[in-house]
Amino acid sequence: MKKFDPKQIGQVLQFTLQSNAGRLKNGYKLLTKQLPTPEVGTTPHKELMNFSRIRLLKYAPPETGRTHKTPLLFVPSLVNRYYVLDLIPERSVVNFVRSHGFQNYMVDWGNPGVEDQHTSLEDYVLKRLDLVVRRIIEEEGTPPTLIGYCMGGNLALEYASIHPENVAGLVLLATPVDFEKAGLLSQWARPEIFNLDKFVEGHGLIPPDLLNWAFTMLKPSWQTRQTRDLVKWGWNDDFLRGYLAISKWVNDSVFVAGETFRQFVQQYYRDN
């Protein structure tokens, strides 16, 4: 018969009591909105360009000294805020690569206004992204490596294929390429199911709530899992800090230019 170590039992009981107390304390603060949302996008930076609601951010040089000549340009998705790549210091892709000696830049696409409803993919790739890349080349004297995240990876891939002379390298994060394997979104985008032109003409700018609903329907149990994790780990202040930061990002969505949406659905999801 296995013997129980009284000291180990005591440690387990102590941890259980402390974690349950932490859940109650943090749960109460969360329900009563006493927990402050962490500040996001805090890696030091300056604004290098600002045009057409778009900003080019240049991050402070690495504190340990720059060890790589080639700069990095992060190209985020058009459907979410850029700061998912610079969430909080301990969960920041930007901060991580900066600590390894890279000079970083970021495109902030902003939130499109009514005047942007006819903005096309060509406008984003061949005009706006091109201006950003050329400004970095002017600043650095050398082309950047593009790091595209999600839909931003598709924009970066298009740009790199058109202007390879302006790109030192290409890295894609969570970027779909073969849209025949895009799952439910490809099924929902079929012409017999989704009247794309009427949808775009009716909205002009695609509301973020509609896009969030579609993404939620891809994984309906996601919110349940989030709640489960919150209950399980809610006693941990570090977990809660990350949870609040990503929740802020999820609920801070942006509009999408109607023409860009039309082209992306047609050219990627339908025509691959």
Catalytic residues: 150
Half-sphere exposure of 186 (CA within 13 A, CB side): 14
Closest CA to 246 of 82, 84, 77, 93: 84
DSSP 119-169: --HHIIIIIIIHHHHHHHHHHHSSPPEEEEETHHHHHHHHHHHH-GGG-SE
Q: How far apart are CA 116 and CA 255, in angstroms?
A: 10
Token pair in block for residue 99: 């600590």
Q: At what angle do helices 237-250 and 6-31 cross, to 10 degrees?
A: 30
